[in-house]
Amino acid sequence: MTLNDLQVNTINFSDFEITASGVTHTGHVRSRNEDSILLLDEENTWLVADGMGGHHAGDFASQTITRNMGLFKQQKTLEDSVLLLEENILSSNAIIRDKSSKLGRDATIGSTVVCIYIWKSLLFTFWAGDSRLYRYRNNSLERLTEDHSYVEELVRMGKIEAKDAESHPAANVVLKAVGIDDGLCLDFDYFELLHDDIFVICSDGLYKDLNEERLTPIFNANQHDMALLSQSLLSNSLDAGGTDNTSIISLKVKQKNSNV
């Protein structure tokens, strides 16, 4: 199925009631929070960006993305909405690249991004970098995005095991991010929604300190309240070390007029 196959001629609202809650925290080690989050509930759009670069450059990168995306309005067709979301991120890439050029040839400014957009019974996502999208369905947690990172490549090639990725010396090396290259190519995917699905988008600060085995019980215990889920994920991450900025947006979808 292609995006054109899904296109319609009028604005479509979600077939689901969506409850969302987000948190962001500096953590216990960093002196500044370079993450940014956006909850654009009225446009069925949510985003996490994790800036990099230091000296406020990371702040600039992530906030450029959320500021641009904050202007997004759903269009009359699905195709136009998705293209506009992509254009907003690519516009942010150009702005960040321009800022980097003014800081000198050795300056590196960038930000990971995970953006999700819900239309009718589908969730669309764009991403670059190692921030993640998870889905919790039927008491099982699944990662829906692949990290653009050096250690992910090592895992994919079978050179290290997934459980050893976060302790690897090159765990912080990101291979793709907004602002790193002129020709940014975002990854894109979409998924069908089911009643009671929970989705979490997060920066790497969450899973650096809490592996997926430790995440699942937190979802189990807080699956009925998205504010509690976001806060509990954050609290557990901080208790486990809080070694990086951590940002989390939790969403739950319920079928409209459902008696399930």
pLDDT of 249 reads 98
What's the pLDDT band for 172 if we cut at 50, 70, 90? low
Q: How many residues does the chain have?
A: 260
Residue 22 has pLDDT above 90, yes or no: yes
Query: What are the pLDDT digits (tens) for 33-49?
Result: 999 999 999 999 999 99
Residue 224, Cβ density class (10 Å: 0-12 exposed, 13-18 middle, ≥19 buried) = exposed
Residue with token string 């479509």: 12
**Cβ neighbours around 179 below 10 Å, total:** 31
Query: What are the pLDDT digits (tens) for 176-192?
Result: 999 999 999 999 999 99
Q: Which amino acid, 126?
A: F
> Across the beta sheet with 16-25, what order do the strands follow?
16-25, 246-255, 198-202, 132-137, 140-143
Percent of the chain clearing pLDDT 90 (strictly above): 71
**Cβ neighbours around 259 below 10 Å, total:** 4
pLDDT of 238 reads 97
**Nearest Cα to Cα of residue 213 among 249, 172, 163:** 163
Per-residue pLDDT averaged across 3-28, rounded?
A: 74
Residue 174 has pLDDT above 80, yes or no: no
What's the pLDDT band for 211 if we cut at 50, 70, 90? confident
pLDDT of 1 reads 43
Please name the residues in contact with 103: beta carbons below 8 A apart, sequence gap of 6 or more: 57, 109
Domains contained in the chain, CATH given: 4-255 (3.60.40.10)
Q: DSSP for 79-146, please give it.
A: HHHHHHHHHHHHHHHHHHHHHHHHH-TT---EEEEEEEEEETTEEEEEEESS-EEEEEETTEEEE-S-
pLDDT of 10 reads 39
Mean pLDDT of the chain: 88
Query: Computed from CA positions of residues 39, 45, 46, 47, in that sequence, does the dihedral angle turn out positive or negative?
Result: negative
Residue 7 has pLDDT above 50, yes or no: no
Taking phi first (over 0 means left), then psi (-120 to 50 degrees means alpha), and beta for anything else, what does residue 129 get? left
| Span of 29-43, 144-158, 184-198 with lowest mean pLDDT | 144-158
Q: Considering only residues 153 and 96, tell me which one the structure prediction assigns the higher pLDDT.
A: 96
**Nearest Cα to Cα of residue 113 among 149, 152, 65:** 65
The beta strand positions in the chain, using DSSP E, are: 16-25, 35-40, 45-52, 110-119, 122-128, 132-137, 140-143, 187-192, 198-202, 246-255
Please answer whether residues 187 and 145 qualify as being in contact, where contact means their C-beta atoms are separated by less than 8 angstroms.
yes
Per-residue pLDDT averaged across 157-186, rounded?
A: 73
pLDDT of 251 reads 98
Give the pTM. 0.89
Residue 206 has pLDDT above 70, yes or no: yes
d(CA 159, CA 123): 33
Residue 64: HSE in the Cβ half-sphere, 13 Å Cα cutoff: 26
